[in-house]
A and B are shown apart, each in its own frame.
Chain A
Amino acid sequence: MLINIVVLVLRDLLPLAVLFVWLFAYIYPALLNIKKLAWLCVISCLGVSLLFNFAPVMSEYFGGAGLELALVLLTIIIYLSCLVASIFTLNERSHLLVVKLCFMLGLSSFIVIKGANFLIYFLGYLARSADNSSVILGVALALGITFSFCILLYFTLSWCRLRGWEKLLNFFWAIYLGSLLAQIVPMLAQIDLVTDAIPLWDSRWLMADKSEYGHIFKALVGYEATPSLSYLLIYLMAIVLFYLAMLLNKYVTNFNHEPLNSTKVEPQ
């Protein structure tokens, strides 16, 4: 029970904490604001309670694919919101309203998915546990691991930022975004919208998906012990999309800042 609870917290709360660390440390430090966080909290709580209560009903819609379809839709929203907002903030336009809205939408959707999932499983364990002390101990242990890991990640990202290693940080952010979007593949495979029967490789001998390290690496870079071709393709496509969006933004910014009459006037 203790290990199950630790793994559950790492599975659902660590990815959330990692996203917040990325935003606070590099992508959108302005999020560290009581008013914004309070709004986020209210919206997310409403969403979590809605998904938690309607998940059993949704799971029977569309021939049993309702819940997966809703989660896929939310995951795509998270990816697109984070992509659009981060493209603006990385190009020093974090003051735009669209950035705030996108981050609110993406973050609240992520909290809704992870929060509702955590509640469903946590209450399941709690209902079966004769001794609640192991549950409390498991939560405390996992929160300790999560906080320690996030503090380390925060200082690492801040250190890289201070050293001016933006290209490296952008690369890891692109990988992170790729790992976010690739999460739709196992859900789509479960409802037969993509095929993932044959994995490309099997690295369970090295690190199992459901181990503590497996969850940490999944939260960081989307580690899968038995990834399918579709998983890898979506992962790479999401990374390429990030760089294309960065290029497009740079092109549009340069175009807008170019003077209309670019011919030089020689001084007399």
Chain B
Amino acid sequence: MLTFRGKINVSLWLGLQLMVLPFDALATNIPEFHLTLENHLFFPAEIEVPANKKVKLIIYNKDDVAEEFDSFDLNREKMIFPKRKSTIYIGPLPPGEYHFFGEYNPNMATGKVVVKGGSNVN
């Protein structure tokens, strides 16, 4: 038989699992693409993703300073803290080129997402 404190601990653990579950489930279904920011440059500067499909973009910031991933075309902006990774979901997008840049180094930290193919995934 669980004590009152034990019941609270179990409830907290279950609650936490329920909160994390949707994010874990999403992570397994959506294709992942990786970007690295080093010396204020994005590597690779061009990534190809499938059309009409949601994708997960994981960005690693290897620099000692923060940078903001910014894209007018993708309608996304997210701070990437130094020595940490950030995740952004984009799409589903029609074929085309979608440019992105680093807010602090807009001339150096640039790149594009190239959406290719015609797969009809919802």
Contact = CB atoms under 8 A, between A and B. Distances in A.
Contacts of B84: 56, 59-60
B75 A64 contact: no
Contact of A124 (B30, B78, B104): B104
Decide if the interface of chain B is mainly helix, strand, loop or mixed.
mixed
Size bin of chain B's contact surface: 35 or more
B122 to A, nearest CB: 10
Contact of A65 (B30, B54, B81, B87): B87
Nearest to B79: A120
Contacts of B54: 192, 195, 197
Size bin of chain A's contact surface: 20 to 34
A167 interface: no
A209 B27 CA distance: 30
A190 B26 contact: no
A192 B26 contact: yes
A195 B79 CA distance: 20
A55 B75 contact: no
Contacts of B11: none
12 contacts: A56-B81, A59-B79, A60-B85, A63-B26, A63-B87, A64-B87, A124-B68, A125-B104, A128-B65, A196-B75, A204-B72, A210-B72
Interface of B: 19-20, 22-24, 26-27, 30, 54, 56, 58, 65-68, 72, 75-76, 78-79, 81-82, 84-93, 103-105
Interface of A: 55-56, 59-60, 62-65, 67, 120-121, 124-125, 127-128, 186, 189-193, 195-197, 199, 204, 208-210, 226
Q: Which 5 A-B pairs have the closest CB atoms?
A: A64-B87, A192-B89, A56-B81, A63-B23, A62-B23
